[in-house]
């Protein structure tokens, strides 16, 4: 696996000290039969399995119509008066490429074990062989250029296998776009226009929809979904360029965007008609500031961007990272019930401690769900489905709760039905 460029990351900080809190690096960087109320998991189709015989090929057969996605939740319902909101948690992965380190199937196995859904933001280039790299024409950059490496042919096949398995097991396939151009240069995604974002998205979709043509591998099964319909959201490289992406996302009918930098643990709003679902500042144990809820931001503060720091640091850093996620979860669950968004990469930075940390946090949260807590481990799309059926006035009220703020009088009173003047008069007369 080749080294990945990490140039020009966005610094963010909170609290008394200035954190080196870097924005989302790319890198490898009715109900169905699932029966899971939180929207995912259950019995799955084994990785690499071919779609049902009734699959209808799309285009060159790289993708196919296979019917409704398995292991989805029942129809979401609006909150009832006096009801406590569920605690939503979304685990997401930038790049979603499998490079032989076994991390993609490791977390698919973990999700399956606990009946969870996740979102995988697939980089389109991870399905394009390097021999065909000149098919990619990135905005403001040379043809074939990329700030992340192209995968070997075997790793492209591994990625296809795991993306196929992920969808069949109920996970969402979003996009991390293609070349991951960050920083302040002319070619950075920060400087792209809405028209250029459209070109990038069209190319990312084409690499998914035409991998058979681009690879010549006609003996492999198709991806079992229509990517034009499946793709409803993404996360930009380094959390840059959202302002000019959103008009294009709206034109394409996207449901959400996960590219905002420096979000807080509060209930989300829409920007330009799109749900704005950002990485969030969460407690950073032992430090006087908070950190964005992503592995690379932990790394940036612990080892100052070095991915191979001295190993004696690893146990403490692993514990600190896991506890950051866990404390972020507990703060939301015990107070305003704001959703928690966590982003990571399939990377072995600093001895793989960040993968171990996110697994520890995931298991902690899953155990709380299994003990009876109303916790829902869902994808971004599933969370957007829930938001869309809520009454606007209920969401407006939830947004009045700040970070770590409990509802005055408890949830029964806070989300209870507001009485009308006639009801007040009737109660006073009684």
- Please report whether residue 4 resides in a domain: no
> What separation in angstroms does the CA of 323 have from each of 138, 219, 266?
39, 45, 20
**Does residue 426 form part of some domain?**
no
Spatial contact of 266 and 280, defined as CB atoms under 8 Å apart: no
Instruction: Report strand pairing: 270-271 vs 274-276.
Output: antiparallel
Q: Is residue 419 part of a domain?
A: no
pLDDT in tens, 280-292: 999 999 999 999 9
Q: Is residue 252, in this structure, part of any structural domain at all? A: yes
Size (the chain), residues: 430
Flag whether 51 is in a domain: no
What is the band of 236 on the pLDDT scale with cuts at 50, 70, 90? Answer: very high
**Residue 6: inside a domain, yes or no?**
no
pLDDT in tens, 365-394: 999 999 999 999 999 999 999 999 999 999
Instruction: Specify burial of residue 419 (Cβ count, 10 A radius: 0-12, 13-18, 19+).
Output: exposed
314 φ/ψ sector (left φ>0, alpha ψ -120 to 50, else beta): alpha
Alpha helices in 100-152 (DSSP H): 103-114
Residue 253 falls in which region: left (phi positive, over 0), alpha (psi -120 to 50) or beta: left
What whole-number distance in Å separates Cα of residue 249 and Cα of residue 262? 21
More confident residue, 420 or 416: 416
Q: Quick check: is 198 in a domain?
A: yes
Nearest to 21 by CA among 339, 319, 279: 279
Question: In this structure, what CATH number is given to the domain that contains residue 327?
Answer: 3.20.20.370
If pLDDT is split at 50, 70 and 90, which confidence band does 139 have?
Answer: very high
Among residues 163, 341, 151, the alpha carbon closest in space to that of 235 is found at 341
Q: Is the pLDDT of residue 107 over 50?
A: yes
Tens-digit pLDDT profile for residues 404-417: 999 999 999 999 96
Domain of 266, in residue numbers: 11-39+83-390
Q: Is the pLDDT of residue 1 over 90?
A: no
Look at the chain and report how many structural domains it folds into: 1
Distance CA 267, CA 397 (A): 9
283, part of any domain: yes
- Residue 43 above 90 pLDDT? no
- CA atoms of 148 and 180, how far apart (whole Å): 6
Which parts of 81-128 are beta strand (E)?
A: 87-95, 119-122
Q: Are 404 and 411 in contact (CB under 8 A)?
A: no
Could you please report the per-residue DSSP string of 159-218? HHHHHHHHHHTT-EEEE--SS---SSSTTSGGG--HHHHHHHHHHHHHHHHTHHHHH--T
Predicted TM-score (pTM) of the model is 0.88
Report the interhelical angle of 295-303 vs 349-370 (nearest 10°): 130
Can you say whether residue 78 is alpha, beta or left, with left for phi > 0 and alpha for psi between -120 and 50 degrees?
beta
pLDDT of residue 305: 86
């Amino acid at each position: 696996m080749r080294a990945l460029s990490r140039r020009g990351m966005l610094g963010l900080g909170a609290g008394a000290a200035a954190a080196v809190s870097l924005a989302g690096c790319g890198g490898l960087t009715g109900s169905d039969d699932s029966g899971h109320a939180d929207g995912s998991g259950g019995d799955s189709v084994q990785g690499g399995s071919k779609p049902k015989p009734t699959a209808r090929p799309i285009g060159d057969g790289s993708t196919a119509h296979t019917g409704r996605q398995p292991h989805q939740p029942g129809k979401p319902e609006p909150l009832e008066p006096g009801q406590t909101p569920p605690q939503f948690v979304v685990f997401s992965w930038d790049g979603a490429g499998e490079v032989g380190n076994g991390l993609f199937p490791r977390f698919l196995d973990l999700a399956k074990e606990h009946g969870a859904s996740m979102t995988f933001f697939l980089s389109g280039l991870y399905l394009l062989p390097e021999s065909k790299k000149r098919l990619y024409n990135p905005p403001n950059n040379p043809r074939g250029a990329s700030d992340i490496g192209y995968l070997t042919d075997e790793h492209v096949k591994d990625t296809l296998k795991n993306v196929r398995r992920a969808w069949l097991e109920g996970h969402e396939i979003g996009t991390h776009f293609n070349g991951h151009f960050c920083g302040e240069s002319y070619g950075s995604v920060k400087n792209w226009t809405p028209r250029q974002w459209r070109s990038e998205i069209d190319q990312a979709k084409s690499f998914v929809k035409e991998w058979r043509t681009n690879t010549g591998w006609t003996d492999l099964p198709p991806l079992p979904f229509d990517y034009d319909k499946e793709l409803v959201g993404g996360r930009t490289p380094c959390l840059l360029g959202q302002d000019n992406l959103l008009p294009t996302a709206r034109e394409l009918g996207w449901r959400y965007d996960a590219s905002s930098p420096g979000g807080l643990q509060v209930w989300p709003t829409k920007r330009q008609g799109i749900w704005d679902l950002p990485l969030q500042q969460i407690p950073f144990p032992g430090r006087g500031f908070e950190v964005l809820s992503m592995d690379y931001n932990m790394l940036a503060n612990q080892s100052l961007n070095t991915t191979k720091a001295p190993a004696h640091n690893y146990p403490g850093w692993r514990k600190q990272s896991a506890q950051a996620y866990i404390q972020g979860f507990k703060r939301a669950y015990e107070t305003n019930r704001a959703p928690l968004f966590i982003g990571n990469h399939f990377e072995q930075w600093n001895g793989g401690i960040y993968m171990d940390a996110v697994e520890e946090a995931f298991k902690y949260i899953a155990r709380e769900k299994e003990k009876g807590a109303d916790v829902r481990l869902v994808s971004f799309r599933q969370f957007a489905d829930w938001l869309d059926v809520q009454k606007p006035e209920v969401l407006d009220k939830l947004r009045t709760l700040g970070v770590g703020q409990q509802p005055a009088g408890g949830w029964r009173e806070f989300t209870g039905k507001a009485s009308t003047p006639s009801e007040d008069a009737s109660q006073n007369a009684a």
